[in-house]
Chain A
């Protein structure tokens, strides 16, 4: 083997690295290391002139290996490997040494950081002579996309993709798409009617030939990899043949079970066991609730629904159906759930009538809701005073530590709706900080002040029905410190709205596991990079949009859905995609055919060849975990890019100093 000539490139990253690590010293040290032909430092290696240094050295100094000591490889490894490739070097002969995230940013002492930087860099310098040229594996891309979740984010992403001619599978867990937005009355700050702007999109998605709608369905399994996902979807039995159902709702009227809490109305109204969730549902098809339908729960029923159904669509024998889809990209738009205020017992939610959640208020104020849009208390009377309590479950170490971003604004919207419906009603907003950060939001806040809403800076302490004075008797009493006055106030009101934060879906974690990515500490899906890749996940080919990533308002959700659609399109619009070649191989000369790796491979990528008596790696199926390498007693399987010798060399280099 010829002597290798290693080029070392150390980045200052402005002061991000150089402010802590003595870059000159590391460069001087690196130049003395074996095989190192040239060691350079530069203010920003990732800039064009920085990258040019590498290219020039390859071409002019005959550099045969390169290492860039800079930020995390997650950030810029592709950048520098491409630069090496452009310079004529195989990209896999370039390594990165992470001296920013793993060193300068986390170390207090400058000398210690400089030492650590040398160790991290030394490990890579040591390994480089053993690196081998590799070629990325090029795989075909399935042009179809799956969108999971049919709220505004999923609908928007699906429509955008469908408009480019791609086939989209839109999977929705509930019987209809629409999500939370379909439940809202108005949207802040413009007060557009939510239904007026959403239902056209819902019906467009329903009619779009490129969208195959899989409502009342759930994803159960995801296999494969970027460009080539194999997805199992369970289409839950509706007990209604949707090809025959016309959505006439006669079954609903005929059904004898009439007291099922209506989920869409937050349980404030009742529905039948045969139901269509709401009049604008897409698809507009009936569903028989398997937990409530008498026939389906094994009880006696004369089945008036069957008699009522003209097209004979009702089918009690329908079964859940599992289908398999092949898609090149996936967009997750599974949304949020409202933080359930029950654990905040001091607010008496669920105990006292007229202490309601924000979603319940949305339904009460909605013209198509259970009260026909009349804002009324449980006794049917309009409230003369309403307190809206901010930050319920939010900004609290005991519950959710984060700010949910939208609650201040929706609370202001509620106040406006109350003032619009009931001008004489007093409205109190109890808030900690008023966060009105969006376009037109601060103006909306001012407008509400002008409308005479009482703003009390303080988080409500408790809600009770114990009146101590005649004017409190018969009312709910909110106890809150007005922190601007330094006075504790007791507000006698008729209705209390709890502005809960947005929470991750209860099953967000298990869903993320199915798809092979993770969740942030707060439970929302984890993006690949918080700033530059907010719609990507660590799994190539899987994108996220909307409130499943973090609480956000409708404009941000729609923008993110577009970004996710563009990300997916940029992938599936290509015939092929390059995947990492760091996969395993087995030398047939050395394999004893013991089978141990065959059973351990998580992706069934190792097969036993009976004829030759050896194990073989199916390259297309191998994802490169390296479990087989570690498992083999004789060290026969090896992983490209992570050969034992390469890892040994890294260890030696890391400990040489």
Chain B
């Protein structure tokens, strides 16, 4: 993560947490995530719901007086959580992330209907009912195509990923 060393100069002012649209639901706000990071207690925050509630709105990042790239830090922690399988039991976001990536790896593009379908079937049984009204409208308006678009170079995505896997293995 470029310029990650900046977290050393965090003055714990709370601008990030105060600016965060979802911090009120987080186990730890972004400020506390940085404090935990510095205190060597990352495991605590990685397991928390915090990182999965980040919407990537970048409000914290642009306001941070120490220019800490907090959104990137959240991504970094999501990666750690996925890698070490430290996912919170009740959170649906990690699954969404995973399906999204599966989708893109398979087709090269994100097929929104497929993504939603898979997500609903596995993680949120109630959703089709809540979504029904809107889904029907979108479908009739031609906004939900059933067949995924596939790109010609779709195998390239997998190949690139395989290369990076190999690189990572080599580094370790």
| Residues of chain A having any CB pair with chain B under 8 Å | 346, 391, 395-398, 432-433, 457-462, 479-483, 486, 488
Contacts and interface: CB of A to CB of B under 8 A. Distances in A.
B66 A346 contact: no
B19 A397 contact: no
Contacts of A459: 13-15, 18, 65
A458 B13 contact: yes
B63 interface: yes
Given A391-B13, A395-B11, A488-B29, A461 B67 contact: no
24 contacts: A346-B63, A395-B65, A397-B66, A432-B11, A432-B13, A433-B11, A458-B13, A458-B15, A459-B14, A459-B18, A460-B18, A461-B17, A461-B19, A461-B63, A479-B19, A480-B18, A481-B15, A481-B17, A481-B18, A483-B13, A483-B14, A486-B28, A488-B18, A488-B24
Interface in B65-114: 65-67
A396 B12 CA distance: 12
A346 B17 CA distance: 15
B14 A458 contact: yes
A481 B23 contact: yes
Nearest to B65: A396
B11 A461 contact: no
Nearest to A401: B65
Interface in B2-26: 11-15, 17-20, 23-24
Interface of B: 11-15, 17-20, 23-24, 28-29, 31-32, 63, 65-67
Contacts of A483: 12-14, 17, 31
Nearest to A346: B63
A395 B17 CA distance: 18
Given A395-B13, A481-B31, A483-B12, 13 more contacts: A398-B67, A458-B14, A459-B13, A459-B14, A459-B65, A460-B15, A461-B17, A479-B19, A481-B18, A483-B13, A483-B14, A486-B28, A486-B32
A396 B66 CA distance: 6
A460 B16 CA distance: 10
Contacts of B18: 458-462, 479-481, 488
Nearest to A458: B14
A480 B23 CA distance: 11
- B12, B13, B17, B32 — most chain A CB neighbours (10 Å): B13
A488 B18 CA distance: 6
Contacts of B17: 458, 461, 481, 483, 488
Nearest to B66: A397
Contact of A397 (B13, B20, B31, B65): B65
A488 B17 CA distance: 7
A461 B15 contact: yes
Contacts of A457: 14
A480 B15 CA distance: 7
Nearest to B35: A483
Interface centre among A432, A479, A488 (most CB of B within 10 A): A488
Q: Which 6 A-B pairs have the closest CB atoms?
A: A461-B18, A481-B14, A396-B65, A458-B14, A459-B13, A481-B17
Nearest to B27: A486
Contacts of A398: 65, 67
Contacts of A462: 18-19
Contacts of B12: 432, 483
B12 to A, nearest CB: 6
A584 B170 CA distance: 67
A439 to B, nearest CB: 26
Contacts of B67: 397-398
A461 B19 CA distance: 5
B9 to A, nearest CB: 9
Nearest to A456: B14
A484 to B, nearest CB: 10
A481 B35 CA distance: 14
A433 B13 CA distance: 8
A486 to B, nearest CB: 6
Nearest to B23: A488
A107 B24 CA distance: 49
Nearest to B11: A432
Contacts of A458: 13-15, 17-18
A637 to B, nearest CB: 51
A213 B147 CA distance: 85
B62 to A, nearest CB: 9
A397 B3 CA distance: 14
B94 to A, nearest CB: 24
Most chain B beta-carbon neighbours within 10 Å: one of A397, A458, A486: A486
A395 B67 CA distance: 12
B29 A481 contact: yes
B58 to A, nearest CB: 13
Nearest to B30: A481
B25 to A, nearest CB: 10
- Could you say which of A395, A457, A481 has the most chain B C-beta atoms within 10 Å of its C-beta? A481
A376 B100 CA distance: 55
Contacts of B24: 488
A460 B18 CA distance: 7
Contacts of A391: 13
A461 B65 CA distance: 11
Given A391-B13, A459-B13, A481-B14, A486 B19 contact: no
A483 B12 CA distance: 8
A457 B11 CA distance: 12
